Amino acid sequence: MFIFGIVIDDDFTRHKIEEMYRMYRKLLFYTAYCILKDYHEAEDVVHTAIIKICDHIDKIEDIKCNKTKAFLVIIVRNIAINVYNKKRRLSEIHMEKLMNLNDDYIHPEEYMLKIENAEWVARKLALINPEYADVLVLRYTYQLSIEEIAYLLNTSEGNVRVKLHRARKALHEIMKGEYYEQQTPE
C-alpha cells in the first residue's frame, strides 16, 4: 500500500483506498486466483485493479456496501480474464509454431521475393514522417492494438489513430506518385 501513499496526495482518498484494499483484498485475490491459478499473477491483477479504481474513487460512496464489493469484483474478474486470454493466446501461438516446424519451408525464390518486398516497404516508410512509420510498423508488423501502441508510445489512443490515418495517407500518396511515374511514357 506504500505506492498509493506516493501516488495519492489527498489523505481522505488514500484512507478510502487503503480501507477498501484491507477489507476486500482476500475476496479480490480469490476471484483472480480462481481464473488464473497463479498466485503472483492474481496479486498483480488485484493491485492493477486497485490502481484502476483510484481513477473512479469519487464514484464510491460507501466502502462497506454490496455495490462497492460487486464493482471491485467485476473489475478484478475482467482484468484476470484479460490476462488469462492473453496468456492462452500466447501459448496457442507457441504450440502452433511447434506443430508447424516442418511446414515453414519456403522455396528460395519465394524467400527472395519476400526480402525484396520488405526492402521496398522499408524504403517507402523511410520517405514518411518517422513517427508515422513507427505507428505503421507497430500496427501491421507487430500486430499491436491501438491501445497497446498508445501505451508503448505514451500517448492517447486518439493520437495513435490520427497518426495511423496520416501514415496510411502519406504512404498512399507516395505509392500513387510512383504509379503515375510508371505510367508516363519516357
Which tens digits make up the pLDDT trace of 59-71? 778 888 888 888 8
Structural domain span for residue 75: 2-99
CA 54 to each of CA 97, 147, 165, 167, 168: distance values in angstroms, whole numbers, following the listed order:
40, 20, 33, 35, 37
| Domain match, 86 and 129 both | no
150 and 86 inside one domain:
no
Average pLDDT for residues 118-138, to the nearest whole number? 77
In this structure, are 85 and 134 located in the same domain?
A: no
Q: Percent of the chain beyond pLDDT 90?
A: 17
Q: Give yes or no: residues 158 and 133 share one domain.
A: yes
Regarding whether 124 and 87 lie in a shared domain, the answer is no
pLDDT tens column, 139-163: 877 788 899 888 887 889 999 999 9
Please determine, for residue 104, whether its predicted confidence score (pLDDT) is greater than 60.
no
How far apart, in whole angstroms, are the C-alpha atoms of residue 121 and residue 106?
20
One domain, residues 80 and 120: no
Number of domains in the chain: 2
- For residue 143, give every residue at least 6 positions away whose Cβ sits within 8 Å of its Cβ, in sequence order, or none: none
CATH number at residue 16: 1.10.1740
